[in-house]
Structure 1
């Protein structure tokens, strides 16, 4: 047997696993759990977690078994082979085989902050990539190569930090695990006892507490569900506009937000519409991701699959903006931005750079034209790519979401009717409010069952999720509502017009807009912000055209994108009260004034986080003391802090002093003999502190006489003598002895 084999056998003596080695392997386990939790989240969002768990268990088992017989260099070959094979299978699974340059470009993008959740087939990527580093990390740990195991696992976690998918909490958990594995593993090799690790426990507790005050890990915006992150809380600002429009390819669910009345741009258009900025296809449970990449605009974008009409728009930036709002579906862009425009994988427009104040561009859109009858009869023959991409939900989505949706839509017999019922049910059963607490779990589930109110992000997320449970393709869209109409073909759009809605796919029609957010309360909140801004004499909330009263439209025969709401039959849910049809949205039904006199809108307090404008306020991030149950990662870190604190207190003698103080001042009742004996022990402790300890050769009576103890001490000693030597003492005598010692201790202020 070779030396290396004998060393491996010794390393694999798992039956005789001592506490030191168990802690070192536990550190490796924490590191694996850190990056494994990120991988698990990816699979939960896009695939079947059970497959990942089985694959992970098989990989760990293989690492344990092969550590006995496989040499280190061959283990490295196996790990690299697993990684190369997995990546190769992933590339083969792609619908189009990209050449080397795009692959390298994507790799660089990932390492500079692009989330892996933007990868279309991220579930296959994880299943292909995870086994290699997992095998090598555990194999090295089992062979007591803790430093190597930490390097392998740390490299994996570091990659996820670069993509921004590993949160501060998750990363910190991995760092703590790596430190434990290296430090305790070194003690394992030296044969030290676990007691030698006590200073390490104190150090780790201090590190975790420090990171809670000022994060020590320079991670990007985090996107996993177990963290306090800007992704989770919705971006850099405290306004709805910052949360939605500045979200780029990742949209988080925020807590309290405010409205900004500042004017952003002007639109001259053939028709009133929502001005879309982007859409999102992948729901993560606590946010949205736009998968795929974008490409430079090449002069034309394909139109919708069915009948459509052209809508021309010219947008003029009033304030600097970094987006290209346009009616859905844009097909042509002209003007100064045409060479800077990009097209997303979902056919939305993006802009390299920003538009300066006064800069203009023009867009031609092809707006789908379909009646309610057309949509009811559209059927469910969805393109396979659409059905696969836009009906996916995280596997952790509670079943009760689908059950509630099925109950609400029981009388709907086609996707259009289902969408209309869900839209109206949310409008009628949930209130509008900007003052909300961001959910910790699945947003749609919590809004549907636990929350009474929310704003557009909550309504749209919940509706899209409910439709997806019924296998109806739906996605989240963001942008601006039409804004203030100042002429027959002109609208002024403010920051508070930023909005989120739902788009539902219909065969041979394309994406059709639905908006479940109650229009009346939202408009009341916007009008309140504008009134306050004008009273404060803000100069950025009006243009020469605005503020002069409502513009009265002239009747026109221009067809609407969809049949007006008044002509659309609605299947009501049981117990539902229909909203009057005069509370409608621009472009979605007949134009009419909204009566807001009896509407109450809840807004965040002015001194609350998120109460400012887009560049003010807090992101509303949930912290460890926000009253919500901690995640598993947070609970693990808290446990480490608790252990470190206890060790620190014990090493400084604080725990002993606390225990002695409690023991001295509190004596629970048991039987008379035991109570009398303990009362005398307490008496001796008090007298030793005030005079001197009793010498071994001294009897209790001699000791009390030599120090001149008073009658109370003599009486306690006498009760103890009767209990110890006569074997009998009454309950009253024992209680009296306890009371006398309490007096001497000062328990009663004596």
Structure 2
């Protein structure tokens, strides 16, 4: 009897449908770039319509794939492209449409291909909906026509565009690459035929490709910013105050004690560097393009008090810190100054150490009574831009916001209520795990502690859920006062806070981050840095003083002279070493009580891919089948019918002899085979029991047990490490 002949043939017992597998891979490729476009519409608006477009275009392609000729399908695709361009053009506001020109279109296209996020486009949702039909329809149409390479070229181009804009994450990109490779690989097997061995080889190549890409995707940082990744944290973060176009809320961080700049000013202020209007659920995006500075800037509706400040860089700065709201800049050429649509300043080139500039600002200074009576007469564009939340924001966020502001009668009272609620209900800590899903939702319902980006993000989200225009701001707190009109600002003074729009006054600052724990952490970090001799911690004027407390009540930088911040609940102790030790044991930490650190989602996904590759290697080499057979060979098995036990004993014997002697020939009887390969009496005894069980009157229990024992002895003798092939 020949054992395992089908398994050794190298052909699957049931030939897989490679066409079906190729389409499954196309689903993965389409989902990779489709999920990004869906995310854009989820953030900006139109998520349900996007889902209809993606599924509808793929379905249409499958239905007409066998009917339409290629030329007709290409013509239909051109109609999709032209229609998308027209729709997007008409969606652009008339004031911006008048500025469009071939040169501007070319510039914007180059910007998209060199890192301009789609989410920064003013009509990002319309752009996404206009772009989606073309690659989905054409790639699925070509796949139905079995033109798999062309299908991948179209789908891969869509994914590549989103990679170049920076909107595609690592896992999404890898999924798309694997999907594209799967379409080509399995599509080729579909067209030209294939075997199981070729399938295993494809899987192994996919795994190697993914692992290699993941390993080589790490890039070294350029320079140390004021916000650094924690040494023990799996999550890194560059500076969120360097006025970038987007900010991602991350996990554990540490703050640099090095001096970033000094300020000479007639009064203290929060030094803003960037303002963000679009919340993505995981971070913030600044929409619109920057404009050149032409000599003067707009002023807040309420006027405010004038504040002049001179900023001197002590290290390279990628931002232009200034008190809100800046109205004029001197000391730098106008060509080096850009202005964002949100009103903050941005350097066109890095500001070098030693360079200075002077900013004149108008700081809102309305008393609380005026803010209280301001009403809700918001401009339409403010409501449209600054009350929008992702469609996927959980409903419980709005419910919590409604509960917190139940007794508030005005937008100002709502802002004060939410600010006080967050200050009193959450602890300050730099040691947190980046939550999955919506940051504000996780901070409200799953986390007990966080730092400024968590507090500010959550407050803006709650205010928007209540219909109050609000936005996310990054920059620095005043820093250490070292003279009558001079402040030293370090990396650890980097901060995020909230601006709330008040009619007739403009944007007013609120800071929901607990002040006392944050200031204690700053003082402890400076002390530790000085004692350890770290460079760049002090200027010649800062000496050994410590930072002064900063008012954090309502109003922007002078709106309230009283520190109304409640004392946070809980025991927020301060460590004396790395600021990552701030606070008690963090319930959101990635490390459990026994020191086990839970792996990240990316790590789990990568290990999953590796396991698939290991499985393919095991199958390709037959190692898994041999391991199972080795266990089967050494197991006597449960006692059943004596005849069945005798047959099983012979099957084990035959497998052992075929592996160590030679395979049994198709025309060879069991008796002839045993006689030619061995003269052991125990093998002949097993053969006789087998023949009686199969062809004679059967065997009794004693004969069946004797046959099983004889095979067991032969297995033990012939599989000894020193005698693997003994006869």
For the aligned pair, the TM-score class normalised by the smaller chain equals 0.7 to 0.9
CA distance in 2, matches of 1:134, 1:270: 59
Displacement after TM superposition at 1:658 (Å): 1.5
Q: CA deviation at 1:117?
A: 0.8
Conservation of the 8 A alpha-carbon contact between 1:276 and 1:479: yes
Q: What residue is the counterpart of 2:27 in the other structure?
A: 29
Change (3 A) 1:639 1:432: closer
**Which SS does the other structure have where 1:501 is aligned?**
strand
Q: Which residue of 2 aligns with 1:19?
A: 17
Distance 1:714 1:68 in 2: 65
Aligned to 1:167: 169
Segment of structure 1 superposing worse, 341-350 or 717-726: 717-726
Paired residue for 1:627, among 595, 599, 604? 599
Pair 1:525-2:521 in alignment: yes
SS in structure 1 at match of 2:247? strand
Q: 2: distance between equivalents of 1:429 and 1:743?
A: 72
Contact 2:647 2:693 in 1 (8 A): no
Deviation at 1:724, TM superposition (A): 9.4
Shift of 1:683: 4.8
**Residue correspondence of structure 1 range 56-205 to structure 2 within 5 A:** 56-95=54-93, 96=95, 97=97, 98-100=99-101, 101-192=103-194, 196-205=198-207
**Residues 715 and 737, structure 1, Cα contact 8 Å, conserved in 2:** yes
SS at match of 1:502: strand
Paired residue for 1:709? 682
Structure 1 position 201, deviation (Å): 2.5
Q: Give 3-state SS (helix, strand or coil) of 1:441's partner.
A: coil
Retained in 2: the 8 A contact 1:435–1:602?
A: no
Kept after mapping to 2: 8 A contact 1:241/1:495? no
Any conservation in 1 of the 2:200–2:619 contact (CA below 8 Å)?
no
707 and 243 in structure 1: CA distance in 2 versus 1, 3 angstrom threshold = same
Q: State the shift of 1:456 in Å.
A: 1.2
Instruction: Please give the alpha-carbon distance, in whole angstroms, between the structure 1 residues aligned to 2:147 and 2:65.
Output: 11
SS across alignment from 2:241:
helix
SS in 2 for 1:70: coil
Contact kept, 8 Å, 1:235 with 1:247, in 2: the verdict is no
Gap runs ≥5 in structure 2: 1-14, 231-235, 550-554, 582-596, 722-727
**Aligned with 1:681 (options 646, 651, 674):** 651
- My pick for the range that moved more, 380-389 or 206-215, is 206-215
Q: CA deviation at 1:297?
A: 0.7
What is the Cα deviation at residue 289 of structure 1? 0.6
Alignment partner, residue 563 of structure 1: 560
- Return the offset for 1:536: 2.3
Counterpart of 1:696 in structure 2 is 669
Distance 1:744 1:736 in 2: 12
- Cross-structure match for 1:12: none
What does 1:189-268 correspond to in 2, within 5 Å? 189-192=191-194, 196-215=198-217, 237-238=228-229, 242-246=238-242, 248-268=244-264
Deviation at 1:32, TM superposition (A): 1.6
SS in 2 for 1:243: coil
- Report the counterpart of residue 573 of structure 1 in structure 2: none
Q: Identify if the C-alpha distance between structure 1 residues 525 and 77 changes in structure 2 by more than 3 Å, giving closer, same or farther.
A: same
Residues 243, 274 of structure 2: 8 Å contact kept:
no
Deviating more after overlay: 535-544 vs 515-524: 535-544
Backbone CA RMSD of aligned residues: 3.8
> Given the two structures, how large is their TM-score scaled by the length of structure 1?
0.80
Give secondary structure in 1 for the equivalent of 2:37.
helix
- Residues 564 and 643 of structure 1: is their aligned pair in 2 closer, same or farther, counting only changes over 3 Å? same
Which of 614, 620, 623 aligns to 1:651? It is 620
Alignment partners' CA distance in 1, 2:388 and 2:135: 28
What is aligned with 1:409?
405
- Cα distance in 2 for partners of 1:18, 1:540 equals 65
Tell me, in whole angstroms, the C-alpha distance in 2 between the residues paired with 1:512 and 1:724: 97
CA contact (8 A) 1:235 1:252 kept: no
Residue 20 of structure 1 contacts residue 193 of structure 1 at CA under 8 Å; is this kept in 2? no
Deviation at 1:41, TM superposition (A): 1.4
Which stretch of the first structure deviates more once superposed, 640-649 or 530-539? 640-649
What is aligned with 2:487?
Answer: 491
Map 1:311-330 onto structure 2 (within 5 A): 311-330=307-326
SS of the residue 1:353 aligns to: coil
Shift of 1:53: 0.9
Deviations 1:177-215, CA, capped at 9 Å, x for gaps: 223323333333335567644432222222122223224
* 2:10 aligned residue: none
1:579 paired residue number? 567
Which residue pairs with 1:13 in the alignment? Answer: none
2:7 is matched with which residue?
A: none
User: How far apart are the structure 2 equivalents of 1:174 and 1:599?
Assistant: 45
- 1:615 matched to which residue of 2? none
Distance (whole Å) between structure 2 residues aligned to residue 548 and residue 639 of structure 1: 53
Any conservation in 2 of the 1:409–1:418 contact (CA below 8 Å)?
A: yes
Aligned length: 669
Is 1:463–2:451 an aligned residue pair?
no
Query: What is the alpha-carbon distance in structure 2 between the residues aligned to residue 663 and residue 451 of structure 1?
Result: 51
Q: 1:168 and 1:19 mapped to 2: Cα distance?
A: 30
Q: 2: CA distance between counterparts of 1:737 and 1:244?
A: 76
Question: Structure 1 residues 84, 688: CA separation in 2 closer, same or farther (over 3 Å shift)?
Answer: closer
Structure 1: gaps spanning 5 or more residues: 1-16, 222-228, 571-577, 584-595, 607-624
Cα displacement string for residues 504-545 of structure 1 (whole angstroms, at most 9, x for unaligned residues)? 112222111111112222122211221122112334111222
Is the Cα–Cα contact under 8 Å of residues 276 and 472 in structure 2 kept in the other structure? yes
- Shift in Å, 1:62: 2.4
**Structure 1 residues 438 and 241: CA distance shift in structure 2, 3 A:** closer
Report the alpha carbon displacement of residue 654 of structure 1 after superposing the two structures with TM.
1.4
Structure 1: distance between partners of 2:541 and 2:227: 31
TM-fit CA distance, 1:329: 0.7
Aligned residue in 1 for 2:233: none
Secondary structure of the residue aligned to 2:255 is coil
Shift of 1:159: 1.4
1:42 to 40, 43, 46: 40
1:341 match: 337
* Structure 1 segment 436-455 matched on structure 2, within 5 A: 436-455=432-451
Instruction: Tell me the residue number matched to 1:660.
Output: 629
What is the CA-CA distance between 1:39 and the residue it aligns to? Answer: 0.8
SS at match of 1:81: helix
Comparing 393-402 with 715-724, greater Cα deviation is found at 715-724
Pair 1:656–1:275, CA change in 2 (3 A): same
